[in-house]
Amino acid sequence: MTIPRAAKTLRRTRIQEEKEEQILEAALDVFSASGFRGSTIDQIAEVAGMSKPNLLYYFRTKEAMHRALIDRVLYTWLEPLRAFDAEGNPEEEIRSYIRRKLEMARDFPRESRLFANEVLQGAPHIEDELKGPLKELVDEKAEVIRAWAKAGKIVKCDPYHLIFSIWSTTQHYADFDVQVRAVLGQEHSGEGRFEDAARFLEQLFIGGLRPDRSET
């Protein structure tokens, strides 16, 4: 994980920690809106409400701020997948995963757009993580899904495309929030849209994976 410049001192003060968080909050706003390439240190300093030299005391480069945020996002974003339990009931595990991903889309939309921007630009800063720890985690959970299918608990399916599909449908509500709210209209675009989405996606995925469905 990237260590802020100020954190390399022997002991970080409370003020240093608060300043770092202030900078990262501002950087998250800027990066999630403009992407890495479209963002500047001057923009981040302005949003943070501090001078550029003061900001650079804590984070020497734009890359350092972006890396610190990406490290956080990767850890947080993958936590629901890590919790996918091989010993659990498949329907409950999938339902929980869908709902946790939607909760993250609701609560962390900037983080989702930050990650999406990075991937759309070719993932120049996280390619090693995608090919390493992320792939290893997805491979592990794909084996869980295959084992469920082999045991007859769900229908046979491609586990990777199942995971991709859950990612895309849940993160849509963060990455394309403006479009979702515009299409739903004022009456249906409140916080209840996430519960509506959860019920539909549960029906779509869980209903489609039940073994009895394949036998009808």
Task: Give the model's pLDDT for residue 11.
Answer: 59
CA angle 45, 37, 80 (to 5 degrees): 90
User: Which candidate, 43, 104, 32, 16, places its Cα nearest to that of 69?
Assistant: 32
Q: What is the pLDDT along the chain (216 residues), one digit of tens a residue?
A: 454 554 444 456 888 889 999 999 999 999 999 989 999 999 999 999 999 999 999 999 999 999 999 999 988 889 999 998 999 999 999 999 999 999 999 999 999 999 999 999 999 989 999 999 999 999 999 999 999 999 999 999 999 999 999 999 999 999 999 999 999 998 888 889 999 999 999 999 999 999 975 444
SS3 label, residue 181: helix
Task: Give the model's pLDDT for residue 202.
Answer: 96
Region of residue 88 (left: phi > 0; alpha: psi -120 to 50; beta: else): beta
Task: Give the model's pLDDT for residue 194.
Answer: 96
CA 102 – CA 194 distance, rounded (Å): 7
* 159: Cα within 13 Å, side-chain hemisphere: 20
70, 114 Cβ separation under 8 angstroms: yes
